[in-house]
Amino acid sequence: MKISMFHLMPHRELPDDFEERYHSVWVDPPFHELATPERVGDYYNWTLDELMHAADLGFDGICVNEHHQNAYGFMPGPNVMGGALARATRGQDVALVQMGATLPTTNPPIRIAEEYAMLDCISGGRLVAGMPLGTAMDANMGYGITPIEQRERYYEAHDLILKAWQSRKPFPYNGKYTQLPMVNLWPRPVQQPHPPVWVPGMGSLSTWEFAADQGHCYCFLSYFGHARGKAVMDSFWEFMDSKEKELNPYRAGFLQLVAVSETDAQAEKDYEKHIKYFFEKCLHIAPEFTPPGHQDYRSLENNLRRMLSQQMSEQQRLSDWSFKDYVDNQYVISGGPASVRDQLEELIKSLRVGNLMLLLQIGSMPHELAMKNIELMATEVIPHIRHHWTDEWENKWWPESLRGGRQMNAEAGVAAVAGGS
């Protein structure tokens, strides 16, 4: 297994009545009513400290992503965060999982090729290059990309980035959306022919097909747990089999919310209000901000048929849920170390995933509690689950220099906390 800490960088102190008073957490929440730049600076620095804590403790990767105009996870420049992390982890065998810079909203797309190459150089070849399509809220509502163009822009940007990384001579580029008289990338990535590419998605058939055809890792990003994820991932593996692709677990990644404490009872005391905050406030998204055309017809039909109506009806019930409901419905894996280990074992086997991304700072979770969650995960859980798939499959979707096992380094992590990291 390769296990990364995933971070959204959310607003941790939204008002108690946020979802009643405000239209949406995404696109139109008023910054000056809800936040100050000074407090946001605290959030960013806590985020960097939490990711560094995971790196120091021996997680395989540290993972950031890109979103805009929201209080759910406002990291509009993931490569700014990645630059800080690349320098701070110099000499460590931890991957920088940039999940990542959104292709259709970056103009010209070679900006991503340049910045990712910088990160690969600074880190000494430790970059995982996430290439997300982007949400409708970000790309269509925030950045003005015409929905029907979004996926086509994505494909063109992807092809240009890979060509820019691999071409040994300057070349002109005359695409439908990007025209460049001379592409001559400086610098180039350390990893050749290019860093491993991960494609995040939420169950779109088109994304599965694209990942299969391009040989990329597909990462299912959902906040509704591995019970729901199993239906999607079973279909994904059936699709890969139909395409005659090797059913290598490292071809897939999965995002899971995890909250571990000393005991099951203590986990409920520690995390219940932060989990409810996440689902009730951070996912308070106006439905009209997903305009028609964001998905192609095949993907839209598949999602509606399989899960969307069920998911929407469940979201309407979340305000009545207790901690036990979230855990029993597997939206969140939580409890004492033994309970969390058992639940993650089931997830890994049932979903057949080799790359696990764990969201360990959830909603309003304060910095000290997030650090505790990370530390218990590193010391009490990960050593018991990371052996999966290691002897059976090669991870072709991880930086080559890091494909061996990582040793957990609990003493270094504890010392970092004591020193005020």
Q: How are beta strands 217-220 and 197-201 bridged, if at all? A: parallel
> Do 261 and 270 touch, CB atoms closer than 8 A?
yes
> Do 184 and 239 touch, CB atoms closer than 8 A?
no
The DSSP bridge partners found for residue 259 are 334
pTM above 0.75, yes or no: yes
Side-chain half-sphere exposure of 316, counting CA atoms within 13 A: 6
Q: Which amino acid, one-letter code, is at 296? A: D
The DSSP bridge partners found for residue 333 are 258
**Dihedral of the CA atoms 62, 67, 69, 75 (nearest 10)?**
20
The interaxial angle of helices 225-242 and 205-214, nearest 10 deg, is 50
Q: Write out residues in the chain with pLDDT < 70, as ranges.
A: 291-317, 408-421
Q: In a 3-state reduction of DSSP, which class is residue 176?
A: coil
Tokens 């190459």 -> residue: 117
Instruction: Determine the topology of domain 2-420 in CATH.
Output: TIM Barrel (3.20.20)
What is the C-alpha radius of gyration for the chain, rounded to an integer number of angstroms? 20
Cα 235 to Cα 286: distance, rounded to the nearest angstrom:
29
Cα 143 to Cα 68: distance, rounded to the nearest angstrom:
8
Q: In a 3-state reduction of DSSP, which class is residue 407?
A: coil
DSSP secondary structure string for all residues of 234-291: HHHHHHHHHTT----GGGEEEEEEEEE-SSHHHHHHHHHHHHHHIIIIIT---GGGS-
Cα 156 to Cα 166: distance, rounded to the nearest angstrom:
16
For 421, the enclosing helix (H) or strand (E) is none
Q: Which amino acid, one-letter code, is at 116? A: Y
pLDDT of residue 416: 44
- Token readout for 315 is 């979201």
- Token readout for 44 is 């960013």
Burial of 300 (0-12, 13-18, 19+ CB in 10 A): middle
Of 58, 80, 42, the closest CA to residue 386 belongs to 58
Segments making up each domain of the chain, as ranges: 2-420
- Token readout for 152 is 């086509």
The DSSP bridge partners found for residue 256 are 358
Torsion region of 210: left, alpha or beta (phi above 0 gives left; psi -120 to 50 gives alpha): alpha
pLDDT of residue 225: 83
pLDDT of residue 125: 98
How far is the CA of 350 from the CAs of 109, 200, 232, 330, 353, in angstroms?
37, 20, 11, 13, 8
Torsion region of 220: left, alpha or beta (phi above 0 gives left; psi -120 to 50 gives alpha): beta
Q: State residue 16 phi and psi, 5-degree precision.
A: -55, -35
Q: What is the pLDDT of residues 312-370, one digit of tens each?
A: 555 556 778 999 999 998 899 999 999 999 999 999 999 999 999 999 999 999 999 99
How far is the CA of 415 from the CAs of 198, 299, 410, in angstroms?
33, 48, 9
